[in-house]
Amino acid sequence: MGRRPDEGAPGAGRGCPQRGGRHRQRPLDGNALVLGTADLEEEAAVLVVLGVWLRSLRHAGRLRLTDVARPGVSAPTLHRWETGRAADPSLVRELLASYGVADEEIEWMISQLPPRDPGSRERAARRSYQMFCDWGGKLARARYEAVNRAASEVIEFGSVLLPASIRTPGYDAVVAGPGVCRESGPMTGFPGQRRVVLVDEAVLYRPVAADHSVLYRQLSHLLALLDREHPHPDVRGGLRVRVVPMDAAPRPFQDVGPLVRMTLLGRELLCRPGQAPSYLVGEALEAEHAESLKGAARSLGRQASQAAVARAKAHLLSVHGGLPASAGEAAGGAPR
């Protein structure tokens, strides 16, 4: 089955397989990456995503590593799989089946793994396993959310819409309705996680519904998040919202749309979110975009971001006056 029209952007033109296909990962921009078998396993994005997903499936069943271990698959081996360091296709197939994953999903996931046979190095050299394009659907979203949960640090950027992690229910219902590509479910941060959400200032002025109170409540929610921000998020984790000014020099990440930079399992992962997320690690990771995200997260200030959101809200009220607060305000943050 091919990609639906609304699934388009993530990874488009970058060798992403379509659902139901047997295609493996292809080189980025046609460049071959010559890697040995060990290197393929150490620098394979699919192993990182698979490992985190395996761990989330085990936790969902409230199982310990020793509960899942079996002859030929020790707890240390399972730990190595769950940390994205290796994966035995036949044994992983059995493990996923024991977790209740559908056969079609299992076979597609196994088909994306880098080869373990040293004789396959020449074939592997023609493909980039440093990029993994998921095939979409509920399990792709589950894997994306599992990766988000496992990350110690997350920096995300929304170019056209606000990222799902900071949306009000009303805003999310409008922009993520039936047939609309969505990045993820609401994720405002997890214990010990440092999350920075970068917002293009132009998005604050972009109407999403005929009912302008939807945007009004969303802006109120952003101000509430900024008010509640912990003064030392780098020490205790937490959520920060930062606005990228419209009058500032363009940053590299602003040219490519929604991006998420995550740190997990001792690695840096760059993701293009959507219904069919794509992930990059190692040399394939677009360092310019990752570093510009990190630089923006460090340089943009809280007070300037508060002022930017307040200006957008004042502009909305001046153009569409008489936006009364309602019961929905409680879900979207206190009015200011």
pLDDT digits (tens, 9 = 90+) for 247-280: 877 777 777 778 899 998 888 899 988 878 999 8
The dihedral built from the CA positions of residue 266, 271, 277 and 283, taken in this order, carries a sign that is: negative
**141, part of any domain:** no
What is the H or E stretch that residue 303 is in? helix 302-319
Predicted pLDDT of residue 103: 94
CATH number at residue 72: 1.10.260.40
Task: State whether 218 and 319 are in the same domain.
Answer: yes
Residue holding tokens 């460049």?
A: 31
Residue 106 has pLDDT above 60, yes or no: yes
Tell me, yes or no, whether 226 and 173 share the same domain. yes
Q: Is residue 38 part of a domain?
A: yes
Q: Indicate the helix (H) or strand (E) that contains 242.
A: strand 238-244
Single residue among 66, 101, 135 that ends a domain in this structure = 135
Say what the pLDDT of residue 121 is.
55
Based on the fold, state whether residues 131 and 164 are members of the same structural domain: no
User: Pairing between strand 259-264 and 153-158?
Assistant: antiparallel
d(CA 145, CA 119): 35
Q: Which of 135, 162, 194 is the last residue of a domain?
A: 135
pLDDT at 236: 58
Q: 3 lies in a domain?
A: no
Do 130 and 268 form a contact (C-beta atoms < 8 A)? no
Mean pLDDT, residues 20-37: 35
Let me know whether 68 and 103 are in one domain.
Answer: yes
Q: Model confidence over 202-233: pLDDT tens digits? A: 999 998 888 889 999 999 999 999 998 876 65
Give the pLDDT mean for 132-136.
Answer: 87
Q: Identify the DSSP state of 185.
A: S
Do 126 and 168 belong together in one domain?
no
Same domain, 129 and 26: yes
State residue 283's pLDDT score: 74
Instruction: Count CB-CB contacts under 10 A for residue 203.
Output: 19
Average pLDDT over residues 316-323: 83
Examine residue 6 and state whether it is found in any structural domain, yes or no: no
Best CA proximity match to 262, nearest among 274, 250, 254, 273: 273
- Domain co-membership, 205 together with 304: yes
Listed residue (8, 265, 233, 27) closest to 130, CA to CA: 27
Residues 286, 315: one domain? Answer: yes
Whether pLDDT at 126 is above 50:
no
**CA–CA distance, 17 with 3 (Å, rounded to integer):** 9
Do 131 and 155 fall into the same domain?
no
pLDDT digits (tens, 9 = 90+) for 72-83: 899 999 999 999
Phi, psi values for residue 304, rounded to 5°: -65, -35
- How many structural domains are present in the chain? 2
Phi/psi of residue 174, nearest 5 degrees = -75, -45
| One domain, residues 28 and 168 | no
Distances (CA, A) of 12 to 6, 41, 183, 274, 289: 12, 25, 16, 11, 17
Kindly state whether residues 36 and 180 are assigned to the same domain. no
Q: What is the DSSP letter of 203?
A: G
Domain region containing 72: 13-135
What DSSP string describes 108-157? HHHHTSPP--GGGHHHHTTS-TTEEE---SHHHHHHHHHHHHH-SEEEEE
**Is the residue at 68 inside a domain?**
yes
Task: Report residue 34's pLDDT band, with 50, 70 and 90 as the boundaries.
Answer: very low
**Residue 295: φ, ψ to 5°:** -65, -40
- The mean pLDDT value for 131-139 works out to 87
In a domain, 144, yes or no: no
Q: What is the mean pLDDT of residues 19-27?
A: 39
Instruction: Examine residue 140 and state whether it is found in any structural domain, yes or no.
Output: no
The pLDDT value given to residue 232? 67
Q: Are residues 210 and 173 in the same domain?
A: yes
- Residue 235: per-residue pLDDT: 56
pLDDT of residue 98: 94
Q: Is residue 145 part of a domain?
A: no
